[in-house]
Chains A and B, each alone.
Chain A
Amino acid sequence: MPSSVSTLTKERRQGALPVGPPAPVRSLLHGWGSWASVAWFLLPALVLFLVFVLAPIAVAVCTGFFKWGGTGPMDDFVGFENYAKLFDDQVFLGDLERGLYLIALSITVQLPFALFTAVLLNQRLRGRAVYRMLFFAPYILSEVVTAVLFTMIFLPGAGMADHLAGALGLEGLQGTWLADPSTVMPTLFVVMTWKYFGFHMMLFLAGLQSIPGEILEAASIDGAGVWQRFRHVTLPLLGPTIRISAFLSVVGAIQLFDLVWVMTAGGPNHSSETMAISMFQFGFKRYQVGYASAISVVLFMISLVFSLFYQRYVLRRDLSGAVTSGGGR
């Protein structure tokens, strides 16, 4: 029991502090005695965090400088060689390109689609609660279940997609989907949209509901049409939500693994490989752990730099408690 707190409560009980407003509890703690009791509360979270979140990053940075197969002594120090090799590796450069491709599609197709659906379900529409719940449902399925489901749907020959393409007279598409390097990325994107648009829709719905009806009413009294109200009132007020939605799309695309690994394992011929899949291939299939660690570090740097940059320059207006502003909220 910290001394400052106990003496004060004793004094209070004896009525030694009869006048003046009570000191706020938060300021009661100072000195090392109280610090120690605070430390006990922080300890479990801190230990977990240090051992399983921060230490792995440090290990990756360290092993990234070695040529190492994953077992035995790590003694072949190669400096930045792994990194040099990485930026010479066509597959890895392709990973970056494919990541950008998915991000671009997410922001130009999936985000507007989710916003459109949200606006639609924000209308007075019978059964909209059911629709909302339904559209969100794919988000809570695991990526693996989603991936196997769509592997079956896009199966060459027997899958639903081929039959559907045949029925629509699009025989050219039959047997392509996930099996053809030129169609695998768009197909993956369709699956990602199926799984994730409902989540973004929910974000937008929350944003839409925080827009006061009076503003829209005022705009319509001033003669603004449906599109004008959307373009000049709703859209600007949704700015913060749109920026967060875009941020989450980017972060999701950077670390994409489960879905792609189960559907294509990065194939055919690396045409759907992501950074996380390259890392997995080198680390666990080809036993080039040093090289795979270098991929981890680059993945980490990309997401860190992106997050800091985005929070600093894009979300700054929206988030009072952003990490870069010192953590106070």
Chain B
Amino acid sequence: MNARRTARGLSLHAVVWLIGAFVVVPLVYAVISGFKSTGELTTNPFGVPEHWKTGNYTGILGDGMFWRQIANSAGIAIGTTCCTVAASAMAAFVLARYAFRGRELFYTLFTIGLMFPFAVAVLPLFLLLRNFDLLDNPLGVILPQAAFGLPMTIIILRGFFRTIPAEVEEAAIMDGCGKFRFFWKILLPMARPALGTVSVLAIVASWNNFFLPLLVFNDPKWQTIPVGVQQFQGQYSTDYALVLAYIVLAMVPALAFYAVAERQLIGGLTAGASKG
């Protein structure tokens, strides 16, 4: 019985390792290849580098363009998150806690937004942004991203706001607290976990967005990391090792963020999916 159990455990581990290899091998390949020269990459594709060449990585890290792209991505992610969370929290507050004519209509309107793929809107969005003179302007990416983030954020926040007991609000009103002060001073602090979750989701969505920044930013000084990665690959397409080093460095912030915010991310994504 014991032997059987060990055998079963071993085969379980073997299968998990196999799946793990499928996930990890491409990543490890990229990291190690970044330490090779492109010449060595062709002659020695799998082995450890003969000479650990750090030039690829240090060269990129010494280049202002890489840091510029990181800063652009971060700024746009923060801007998007602030806009979408602020607007959603206000809307979710009244949609959750007040009965007024047309409430369900508004809520349905926002939830319908979940069915609009971003790809559908991107071309007309480009035309609109051109009319508003928002091309080559970070707001041209921030505002549409914030708008497309509203449905999911409102759904999650409204659900959370509903769980806060009415007694809390009554007590606040009895103490002479206005609607806005209640929202700002009591509801939002109580909703910190939910706000954390939706913020994390908004940051990741913005960080990874490629389609819109690709269209809106013509000027390289605004390029975000995904656009920069694509441009870099086009520019140095024959220097494979350098391109791989670039994507490894581009992955680092996302993976670091994942390590820190893992719980919110996974919780938010799975909860969001089952509500969407």
Contact = CB atoms under 8 A, between A and B. Distances in A.
A153 B273 contact: no
B61 interface: no
Interface residues of B, number: 106
Contacts of B104: 326-328
Given A27-B99, A60-B120, A137-B258, A203 B26 contact: no
A306 to B, nearest CB: 9
B67 interface: no
B30 interface: yes
Contacts of A46: 91, 106
A321 B124 contact: no
Interface stretch (A85-93, A227-235, A291-299): A291-299
Given A25-B97, A41-B93, A133-B262, A194 B123 contact: no
Contacts of B97: 25-26
A307 B91 contact: no
11 contacts: A29-B98, A34-B98, A41-B183, A44-B91, A52-B121, A142-B226, A144-B227, A149-B244, A203-B274, A275-B119, A327-B108
A203 B226 CA distance: 27
Contacts of B20: 131, 134-135
A56 B124 contact: yes
Interface residues of A, number: 105
Contacts of A56: 120-121, 124-125, 128
A283 interface: yes
Nearest to B101: A35
A34 B83 contact: no
B237 to A, nearest CB: 9
B147 A1 contact: no
B124 A59 contact: yes
Pick the most buried of B122, B183, B250: most chain A CB atoms within 10 A of its CB.
Answer: B122
A52 B19 contact: no
A120 B16 contact: yes
Given A135-B19, A203-B273, A323-B112, A26 B98 contact: yes
Given A45-B88, A327-B111, A13 B226 contact: no
Contacts of B113: 49, 53
A244 B272 CA distance: 11
B204 interface: yes
B91 A42 contact: yes
Contacts of B160: none
B3 interface: no
A117 B19 contact: yes
A303 B143 contact: no
A145 B123 contact: no
A215 interface: no
Contacts of B250: 142, 145
Given A41-B94, A279-B119, A299-B117, A137 B22 contact: no
Contacts of A25: 97, 166, 169-170, 173
B23 interface: yes
Contact of A140 (B225, B244, B254): B254
B24 A145 contact: no
Interface stretch (A76-84, A104-112, A175-183, A253-261): A253-261
Contacts of B108: 323, 326-327
Interface stretch (B48-56, B191-199, B208-216): B208-216
B46 A163 contact: yes
A5 B179 contact: yes
A198 B275 contact: no
A45 B99 contact: no
Nearest to A130: B20
Q: What are the 4 closest A-B residue pairs judged by CB atoms, nearest first?
A: A52-B147, A327-B108, A255-B117, A142-B208
